[in-house]
Amino acid sequence: MLELIFAVLLIAAFATLFIKSGRIAAIISLIASAMPLIAVMDWANDFGIKAFSFGVENSMDFSIAGITMHLSITSFAWFFAVMVFSLLPPIFLFSYSFFEKNNGFFPFMLFLITAVFGILLASDFLTLFFFWELMAASSFILVYISRDKKAIMSYLAFSVLSAVLILVGIALLYSQSGTLIFSDIVLNADKVTVSAIILMVAGFAVKSALMPLHAWAPFVYSKADEPFVAFLSGGLSKVGYYGMFFMLFALPGAKILHQYFNSGVATYLLAVIGAISAFIGTLLAFMEDDLRKLLAYSSIAQLGYIAVGFGIGSSLAMAGALFQAFNHAFFKSVLFLAAGAVAYRTGKWKISELGGVGYKMPFTFMAALFAIFALAAIPITSGFAAKWLLYEAAVSNKYIFITPIMLIAGVGAFLYSFRILYGVFLGENRHDDIKEAPLPMIAGMFLLVLPLIIFLIFPGYMLDMMHSALVDAGIGTISHTNYVIRTGTASYNTLAVVIGMMVVMIPAFLIYVLRKQKKVDFKDNFLAGEPYEFYGYISMHAANNFYKPIEDVIMPYLRKGAISFYTALYNAMGRVSDASRKIYTGLSQDYTIYIIIFFFIIVGWLIW
Amino acid sequence: MRKVVAIILASAFFAVLLVSFSNIQQADYGEKEYYYQNPINGSYANESVPSHYISNTKNETGAVNAVTAIVVEYRGFDTLGEVTVLFTAATGVSFLLYKTRGGKKRTEANLILKEGSKLVLPFILLTGAYIFIHGHLTPGGGFPGGAVIASGFLLMMLSYPKFFMKERAVSVTESMAGITFAFIGLLGLVFASSFLQNFLPLGDAGYILSAGIIPIIYIAIGFKVGSELSSIADKLKEVQK
Amino acid sequence: MVTPVLMIAIPLLAAFLMPLIKKAHRYFTFSILLLNAILSVLLFAKVYNDGAIYETIAGFSPPVGIYLAVDNLSALLALIINLFATINFVTSKKDFKFSMLYLLGVTGATGIVLTGDIFNMFVFFEITAVASYALVASKKDEKAVEGSIKYMILGSVGSSFMLIGIAIIYSQLKSLNLYDIAARISSMDPKMMWLSFSFLLTGIGVEAELFPLNGWVPDAYEGASSNIASFLSFGPSKASIYAIARLLIIFSMSRTYELALYVGIATLLIGEVAAFMQKNEKRMLAYSSIGQMGLILIAFSLIKDTSYAIPAAFFIIVSHASAKSSLFLISGKKGFGGITSKYVGLAGVLSLIGMPPMAGFWGKWYLLMGIADEKMWAVAAVIIFSAVIEAIYFARYLHKNLGEGESEDLGYSIPAAVMVSVSIVMGILPLIYNMAGGVLNA
């Protein structure tokens, strides 16, 4: 059965390679992408959750003469598999309308899914690395389709960096323990093992766009096809976090790091990096005018929270981190898809050029609205529960540096999500001639919103899902019922919160609907009385230069950030390269002299 | 600067070579005997390669000239390769030098040279043929014989500006000679056990009709080298400016 | 009856025959190359089943006569060289002399791989080198001639070095047989041994594109037409790096392995760094080839201590031969016009970078596992650095070649696709690992 799933995915991938029509390819992909979901559902029974059973075996050894690949599902891989694979059918539903022609998105997306399935099932390092590289290769081709130079170069460079870091880490671990199979590996707290763990965590962090290694993300997220970006941000970044989770808690690397450094300094550093990612990502996001770049920085920020949770490592923090990962997978996919839907109808990406789209595309607006609530952690979606767990974990661990940064970033999330709402969907109505997005797109987006609402009301289900993962990783869970989460210091009853919200919201909504309205044309007041041209630049309003003062203060410092560092590195390397090519003078005399000098050097080296 | 470096390096290199080859004298060139293990049957032989050549050439190959026996029989495969190198070079030259013939007029040579070379040519060719036909008996062989033949044609080219080799004839000769060599090698594979192995009777050492395939191969080599060198000279003459 | 000598004798015979059958020369050459490729498959099957083959020439047992020594790896290399030569030859459009030279060049490379005699190896080096000089110049424009002349000057210096090295060995051991030399190398005067090793390494290193002996590489690759650049990257260079591997095994001293490791690292770094900012596509690919040769040498320098070295080197060789040759075939045009060359470009680059399902992945994997066995972490750091550099310039290369709507020359891109699919097949079937893991005798 497991072979069948792989076979179906690969056959579908090869089939779509030769199909010109985007519609047919989307249908094939949709069917194929349901296959891993079947397996995921089946395995739920193994981890204490009742679901249908299809008889999918939970481990498999796949042997090609000489090399055996061990595949089996673990509880934590299963948790990540749930979130990654439930994203896919809605995304393919969305892309049914998005792609008229099959430009290579569908086949390589299916290869990508195969690779992710393999990564999550891998139970030895060769399998893990093979599928990791397959993922890097197929996602690179998806980026390559975008034809953007910076995206292509940065994505390939960082993919290879991540791959080589992981490979060297594997080699280090292998030299210590002599085996590649996860269950046989015994770790000792020595220098080699510790550096292996650090290298591999860094390698996985590249995919998760953690701060110093995030430089590819803004370019790729803003240029590649939206459905792919939705999966890249929603799904693939989680695969990176799966790798980190695996290294730190399943192997378990965090304990080794504690033993070696005799304190939690390494994991604390991870938490700090996560918090800084969240903070700076947020700052960059709310000054960005390009909608896709805004979402990219927002992704970096939101993914930073997960790293904070991993760094703290208590049961509370881990629950929060996994919850946040799950939420982020869904709301960020919705946002990218919504951005894609808006661009599909208007063809524009700049927030300052958009506006009033929500009047014409109300369903897209609705979906995006829920996603933004989740992003900003407003307690009408499940985003709140995740952030709350994380904050409480940070506070209860007395992390005086991390906690305030996270809180500021949390407010910041609201600041930029507000700009999406106002600048894109509300505000001045500039788009009279557009229609609502096609039905498959809307259906895809709403399918993705659904879990956000379900886990708002029943966060206990989520905690049930991660229960065996946390227990298997030796972290321990927090006590909960379906509606109530009890932490050490407090308890949080979602049902009460939801009912409370309803009590306030429903009357407000009714009043809004029932009262007599006078329609006001936004054109009159969107500048709030300011002249349009103001001190030489277009004046500030919600869609344009809204945070100009902050930007003027902060931007000079942010410019010296990671991306300019990498650019400088690239240029410096370029100068070294130009200098090194001076060795090749083009004169055969010189080359002959080189030959003789080389000869003398090796003779000298060998004899003396 | 570059010249100074080059001079220093060249002299240092010369010193290294001097040192390395002066050591060879101390190691009794060709005298010492070693034990070998034969990689094919694992047996041990108690003699060195040079002494094997000196003592066994006549019995094994039937050639009186040991150098010829080594070149054509013991290391015949290398010779095939060397012939091919020459062939490759000749082909390369004719492939790359593509200027049409007769581009420039040259002054006529004087009468003595013209008539003299006509007179000498047959003797040169005869000498060349003698050298390669008698390769297994006397010093000489295919390579020097071929070179002598080519020098005869070169003489003609010098004395007669309009003298050109017949390209077709040269290339056919060249090919036929090469084919003969390789084909005899393959016949060795068929009639005896290995490539280039002798399959003809060895005959009485010292006679022309002896030493099996050696004379045939040497004649082929003589033709081949002669035609290749002449064609290279011919081609170079064409593009002279 | 498959004997290795046929793989040398038949093409030689065919090359001699070529001037007589001028007209059908392309089909004739193609069928000879194909026959050779089939022979090498049969040969490999035989070697794989029955172990290494030692075939005497002229009926004299080895120390006295010449013999061919074929083991798993050399049979595979002969297969690779002849297979790619067959595919690549499809693109040839020149006259019969070109076909002749091409055939001779391939034969020389095959001979280097198959022979078990050091002087015989030198002769084959000469054949393939002389043929390559002419082939590089075959485009007959200024750059081609310039590249060819540089190649010729350095190549001749290299072959003289090699000849002196052989002379020193013969003067000491009275033998030219590789197996025999390897068995008795310790009875050499140590200074003479090091001298001969240095001469041989320098001489072969010129052909094997090692730093700093590779001055001819950028010019020759840039000047040569694309199918000849492709030929250079799967033929002579691969055969000579294999010759260096044999050399290392013959001498088999830890100092020589160490030296090879350092030379390999220097070659890798210089090649990749030089390629990083190179704007000219062919020169960039040439520098990148230098880097890959360094990587192969690093892999071979681990032979003594780890069993991962040979598969690593083998997979990198396959990956580089197929990917770089196909990239050379499709480069030099106005970008990847059609869909075929686009996928060929992608597959080639991914293989060189070492991503599955290409052969390059297994090369990288086994190399790192070998390094893990040896615990040489500085080498690992060098590999990380060079891999990232390589990724950046290949990404730039891919982006630069993004063409749209232009037609492509299928005469080039289809052979390139066939070549690159070899890398994919080898990557999917790491089965070859077992085969390549067999003993490598000298």
One digit per residue, the tens of pLDDT, for chain B of length 241 reads 778 888 898 898 888 888 777 766 555 544 444 555 555 555 666 667 777 788 777 778 777 888 888 888 888 888 889 889 988 888 888 888 765 555 566 677 788 888 888 899 999 999 998 888 888 888 888 888 899 999 998 888 888 877 777 778 888 888 888 888 888 888 888 888 888 888 887 777 777 777 788 888 888 888 989 888 888 888 777 654 4
Closest Cα in chain B, distance from residue A578 (Å): 23
Write down which chains contact chain A via at least 3 CB pairs under 8 A: B, C
Does residue B182 belong to any structural domain of this protein? yes
Can you say whether the dihedral through the CA atoms of C51, C52, C53, C56 is positive or negative? negative
Does residue B41 belong to any structural domain of this protein? no
Confirm if C340 and C413 have CB atoms less than 8 A apart. Answer: yes
Closest CA to C323 of C291, C278, C279, C366: C291
User: Which of A81-85, A546-550, C399-403 bottoms out in mean pLDDT, i.e. has the lowest?
Assistant: A546-550
In the predicted model, what is the mean pLDDT of residues A288-295?
87
Does residue B202 belong to any structural domain of this protein? yes
| Residue of chain A nearest B1, judged by CA positions | A590
- Would you call C334 an interface residue with chain A, using a CB distance cutoff of 8 Å? no
Pick the residue with more confidence: B43 or A603?
A: A603
Give the confidence band of C440 by pLDDT, cuts at 50, 70, 90. very low
- Would you call C392 an interface residue with chain A, using a CB distance cutoff of 8 Å? yes
Pick the residue with more confidence: C263 or B38?
A: C263
Tell me what pLDDT residue C386 has. 92
In this model, does residue C438 exceed pLDDT 50? Answer: no
Domain count, chain C: 1
Range from A173-177, A486-490, C333-337 that averages highest in pLDDT: A173-177
Q: What percent of chain A has pLDDT over 90?
A: 26
In this model, does residue A346 exceed pLDDT 70? Answer: yes
Contact yes or no for C16 and B87 at CB 8 A: yes
Give the confidence band of A63 by pLDDT, cuts at 50, 70, 90. low
Contact yes or no for A577 and C396 at CB 8 A: no
The domain in which residue C390 lies consists of 273-442
Does residue B45 belong to any structural domain of this protein? no
C-alpha neighbours within 13 Å on the C-beta side of residue A240: 29
Closest Cα in chain C, distance from residue A29 (Å): 21
Domain count, chain B: 1
Give the confidence band of A166 by pLDDT, cuts at 50, 70, 90. very high
Closest Cα in chain C, distance from residue B185 (Å): 8
Measure CB to CB from residue B12 to each of A589, A590, A600 and give the nearest one: A600
**Which of chain B's residues have a Cβ under 8 Å away from the Cβ of C104?**
84, 87-88, 91
Give the confidence band of C436 by pLDDT, cuts at 50, 70, 90. very low
The domain in which residue B172 lies consists of 65-238
Q: Which residues of A touch B (CB under 8 A)?
A: 589-590, 593, 596-597, 599-600, 603
Q: Which residue type sits at A57?
A: E
Give the confidence band of C151 by pLDDT, cuts at 50, 70, 90. very high
Does residue B48 belong to any structural domain of this protein? no
In this model, does residue A354 exceed pLDDT 60? Answer: yes
Does residue C398 belong to any structural domain of this protein? yes
pLDDT 10s digits, C380-402: 999 999 999 999 999 998 888 87
Closest CA to A91 of A335, A369, A328: A335
C-alpha neighbours within 13 Å on the C-beta side of residue B62: 17
Closest Cα in chain B, distance from residue C167 (Å): 9
**Which of chain A's residues have a Cβ under 8 Å away from the Cβ of C274?**
577, 580-581, 583-584
Measure CB to CB from residue A168 to each of C197, C263, C368 and give the nearest one: C368
**Which of chain C's residues have a Cβ under 8 Å away from the Cβ of A580?**
270, 273-274
Does residue C396 belong to any structural domain of this protein? yes
Cα separation, A132 vs A371, whole angstroms = 29
Confirm if C11 and C78 have CB atoms less than 8 A apart. Answer: no
Pick the residue with more confidence: A263 or C115?
A: C115
Contact yes or no for A589 and B6 at CB 8 A: yes
Strand A533-534 and strand A491-493: the pairing is: unpaired
Closest Cα in chain A, distance from residue C57 (Å): 34
Contact yes or no for B5 and A593 at CB 8 A: yes
Q: Under 8 Å CB-to-CB from A535, ≥6 apart: which residues?
A: none
- Would you call C69 an interface residue with chain B, using a CB distance cutoff of 8 Å? yes
Give the confidence band of C441 by pLDDT, cuts at 50, 70, 90. very low
**Across chain C, what does the average pLDDT equal?**
86
User: Which of A17-31, A437-451, A470-484, B178-192 bottoms out in mean pLDDT, i.e. has the lowest?
Assistant: A470-484
Tell me what pLDDT residue B106 has. 66
The widest CA-to-CA distance across chain B, in whole angstroms, is 68
Does residue B25 belong to any structural domain of this protein? no
Confirm if C332 and C282 have CB atoms less than 8 A apart. Answer: yes
**Which of chain A's residues have a Cβ under 8 Å away from the Cβ of B10?**
596
Contact yes or no for B34 and C187 at CB 8 A: yes
Q: How many cross-chain Cβ pairs, A to B, lie less than 8 Å apart?
A: 17
Contact yes or no for A603 and B16 at CB 8 A: yes
Contact yes or no for A593 and B9 at CB 8 A: yes
**Which of chain C's residues have a Cβ under 8 Å away from the Cβ of A185?**
none
Does residue B31 belong to any structural domain of this protein? no
Coil vs helix vs strand at A399: coil
| Residue of chain C nearest A152, judged by CA positions | C395
Closest Cα in chain B, distance from residue C50 (Å): 14
> How does DSSP classify residue B107?
P
Does residue C297 belong to any structural domain of this protein? yes
Confirm if A53 and A47 have CB atoms less than 8 A apart. Answer: no
Q: Based on the number of CB atoms within 10 Å of its own CB, is A290 exposed (0-12), middle (13-18) or buried (19 or more)?
A: middle
Coil vs helix vs strand at A89: helix
